A and B are shown apart, each in its own frame.
Chain A
Amino acid sequence: MKTISDHILDICQNSIRAKATLIEIMVEEDIYNDFYRVTICDNGFGMDEETARRAADPFYTSRTTRKVGLGLPLFKQNAEQAGGSFSLVSAPGKGTRVTACFKHRNIDRPPLGEIAQTLVLLVIGNEDLTFRLLYKTPSGEYNFDSAEVKEALGEVLKLKEGREAVIELINNNLIDIGATS
Chain B
Amino acid sequence: MARKLLLEHINVPGINTLDVYRQKGGYRAVEKALKTLSPDDVVEEVKKSGLRGRGGAGFPTGMKWSFLAKPEGVARYLVCNADESEPGTFKDRYLMTYIPHALIEGMIVASYALGAKTSYIYVRGEMMPQIRILERAIAEAKAAGFLGKNILGTGYDLELYVQPGGGAYICGEETALLESLEGKRGNPRIKPPFPAIAGLYGCPTVVNNVESIAAVVPIINDGGEEYAKIGIGRSTGTKLISASGNLVKPGVYEIELGLPVEEFIYSDEYCGGIANGKRLKATVAGGSSVPVLPANLTLKLANGDPRLMSYESLSEGGFATGTMMGSGGFIAFDEDQCIVRNTWNFSRFYHHESCGQCSPCREGTGWMEKVLHRLEHGHGKMSDIDLLVDVSKKIEGNTICPLGDAAAWPVASAIRHFRDEFEWHVREPLKSQETNYGIAKYAEPIAKAEVTTDN
The answer to whether A and B interact is: no
Interface residues of A (CB under 8 A from B): none
Interface residues of B (CB under 8 A from A): none
